[in-house]
Each structure stands twice: as structure tokens, then as C-alpha cells.
Amino acid sequence: MAKTEVILIQNIVGLGGESDLVKVAAGYARNYLYPQGLAIPVTNANKRRIEALKRRRGEREAHEFNAMSELSKSISKLIAVIQVKTGDDGKMFGAVTAGTIADQLKTQFDIALDKKKIHLEHPIKTLGEHDVELRLHSEVHATLKVRVESTTPLAAQPDARTEGSARTESRGHKRAERARDDQTAAAPEVEKGERPERKARAPRPEKAEKPAKAEKAGKADAR
């Protein structure tokens, strides 16, 4: 692929800033950079513009540095609140990404920030507060506090303190019941010094006279 050298007259992220001489694909220069006014061909006449472009670049970079420094001071005092859906166990559905944070900054504080300046090693997948690094400028970094909250009603989420109180109360009831049972088993049936009343026994039925004894008595009379 044919290459050509151009002079950038606008800052292009990933390519260079004003006054830089860079080599690009000829078709890219011809079809995009030149028509968009982002670069000019390298000629003797155009080389005279390099000094003017350098001064303009210095002014732009100084303005960006000052603007990002002020933004850094403001952002360090903010808390971006992001609400997410969670299950009954408190686990999030999905994750919070750099794009999510950029959108929230725009919605909550009207701060337009390129998501590429938001540095996340991994998407956020837990509730609570998180410190997020912002790379606002090559020389300016900031820390944004992000608070992730659940939109699920609190009643639907398990509360460890409530469950602990319930278990403690249950154990207290069981101990009280065992104590009452022990007192009942140890208590005497009657008070000390008193004799329990005897139950009246039913009269025993008279025994029928055995037939053998009656026969012996009859023989004695006959003698």
C-alpha cells in the first residue's frame, strides 16, 4: 500500500497534533484527511506554515491542560450515583462499564467526558462505593467516586441483622421453654409436710365357697 507524508493541521487522536509530519496511506490522505481539512501535503510552501501550527498547538495544549486541571478538582468532590437491578441475593444483573459512568456524568452533572478517559481494569459488578481513575490529560489524572445502588426494594433483599435477631429470639424462646420443663419436672407433687390423700379402694367381692369344702361338710353331718 502506497504511503505519503502529510502535515497535520488539526489534532488527531492516535495520529498526532498540529505541525506533525506523519506518514499515512495515500488513499487515507486523499479521501479523508485533505477533504476534511485535517492535513496538507508536504511542500515547500506548506512547510512555512509549520511554525504557525506549532504556536497554535502550544496554545491548544495549554488550554486543555488548564481545563482538565480545573475539571480534576471538581470531579474529586463528586459522587456519581448509578442505580442497577439486583436479584434477591443482592447480586447485580450485568455490570457498570466506562460507558455507563460517562453517561451518568453527563446525566447527573452535565459533564461530557470521553469514555476512553475513564480507566477501569474490570467492569464494576458489586454494589457500594468504588474509586475510578480518570486520565483526563497526559499530565492530569483524577479519582471519581462511583456509588452503585440497587433499585430492588429493600424488603426483598435478605437482611443479615434481621435474620440474626430472629435466630437469637428463637434460641431465647427455646431456652425459656426448657427451663419451664425442668422446673415442672423438679417440683414435688404436694407441699412439704402434707400427706397425699389416699384414694378409696373399691370393696373386694366375696369369694364363692369352693364345692369341695361343701361336700366334706355334708359327709360329716351324715356320720
The reported pLDDT for the residue numbered 77 is: 93
* Contact assessment for residue 41 and residue 24, using Cβ atoms and an 8 Å cutoff: no
Evaluate if residue 160 carries a pLDDT over 70. Answer: no
The reported pLDDT for the residue numbered 27 is: 93
Dihedral over Cα of 37, 38, 39, 45: its sign: positive
More confidently predicted of 172 and 84: 84
Whether residue 10 is contained in a domain is answered as yes
Is this model's pTM higher than 0.85 or not?
A: no
Mean pLDDT of 144-157: 80
Could you list the residue range(s) of the whole structural domain that residue 32 is in?
Answer: 1-50
Whether residue 77 is contained in a domain is answered as yes
Could you tell me if 35 and 87 lie in one domain?
A: no
The reported pLDDT for the residue numbered 153 is: 72
The reported pLDDT for the residue numbered 29 is: 94
Q: How far apart are CA 196 and CA 198, in angstroms?
A: 6
Q: Work out whether strand 3-8 and strand 79-84 pair parallel, antiparallel, or are unpaired.
A: unpaired
Report the CATH number that the domain containing residue 144 is assigned in CATH.
Answer: 3.10.430.100
